[in-house]
Amino acid sequence: MLIFRSTAQGKVIIVAKTPARKPAISDHLAYLLAQANREINRHLESRLRKEGVPVEQWRVLMILADGKGHSMGDLANAVLLNHPTLTKMVDRMVSDALVYRVQDPSDRRRVLMHLSDRGKALAKRLSSLAERQEADIIQSYGNKSTSELKRLLESLIDSAS
Amino acid sequence: MLIFRSTAQGKVIIVAKTPARKPAISDHLAYLLAQANREINRHLESRLRKEGVPVEQWRVLMILADGKGHSMGDLANAVLLNHPTLTKMVDRMVSDALVYRVQDPSDRRRVLMHLSDRGKALAKRLSSLAERQEADIIQSYGNKSTSELKRLLESLIDSAS
DNA sequence: TGCCAACAGTTGAAAATTCAACATTTTCCC
DNA sequence: GGGAAAATGTTGAATTTTCAACTGTTGGCA
Question: What pLDDT shows up at residue A25?
Answer: 92
Categorize the per-residue pLDDT at B17 as very low, low, confident or very high, splitting at 50, 70 and 90. very low
In this predicted structure, the answer to whether residue B97 has a pLDDT above a threshold of 60 is yes
Question: What pLDDT shows up at residue A9?
Answer: 57
User: Which ipTM did the prediction report?
Assistant: 0.86
Question: What pLDDT shows up at residue B15?
Answer: 45
A19 in a domain, yes or no? Answer: no
CA distance B145 to chain A (A): 7
- Pairwise CA distance, residues B126 & B61, whole Å: 9
B157 in a domain, yes or no? Answer: no
A115 in a domain, yes or no? Answer: yes
B98 in a domain, yes or no? Answer: yes
Contacts of B131 in chain A (CB under 8 A): 23
Q: Would you say the C-alpha torsion B116, B117, B121, B124 has a positive or negative sign?
A: positive
Question: What pLDDT shows up at residue A152?
Answer: 97
In chain A, the number of structural domains is 1
- Domain region containing A68: 48-131
What tens digit of pLDDT does each residue of B35-58 get? 999 999 999 999 999 999 999 999
CATH number, position A59 = 1.10.10.10
B110 in a domain, yes or no? Answer: yes
A61 in a domain, yes or no? Answer: yes
Three-class DSSP category at B40:
helix
Would you call B155 and A145 a contact, using CB atoms and an 8 Å cutoff?
A: yes
- The reply to whether the CB atom of residue B88 sits less than 7 A from any atom in nucleic acid chain D is yes
Among chain A residues, CA nearest to B154 = A32
Q: Tell me which residues of chain A have a pLDDT lower than 70.
A: 1-21
| Best of A39, A59, A133, A154 to mutate (most B CBs within 10 Å, chain B) | A39
Residue nearest to nucleotide D26 (CA to C1'): B107
Q: What is the DSSP letter of B21?
A: S
Categorize the per-residue pLDDT at B2 as very low, low, confident or very high, splitting at 50, 70 and 90. very low
What tens digit of pLDDT does each residue of A60-101 get? 999 999 999 999 999 999 999 999 999 999 999 999 999 999
- Pairwise CA distance, residues B68 & B59, whole Å: 15
Q: Tell me, in Å, how far CA of A128 is from C1' of C15?
A: 28
B27 in a domain, yes or no? Answer: no
Q: How many residues does chain B have?
A: 161
- The reply to whether the CB atom of residue B71 sits less than 7 A from any atom in nucleic acid chain C is yes
Angle of CA points A31, B100, B113, to nearest 5°: 50
Beta strands A2-6 and A12-17 are antiparallel
B120 in a domain, yes or no? Answer: yes
Three-class DSSP category at A17:
strand
Residue from the list A28, A130, A154 with its beta carbon closest to the beta carbon of B28:
A130
Q: Would you say the C-alpha torsion A78, A81, A87, A88 has a positive or negative sign?
A: negative
CA distance B53 to chain A (A): 15
A145 burial level (CB within 10 Å; 0-12, 13-18, 19+): middle
Cβ distance B104 to B71 under 8 Å? yes
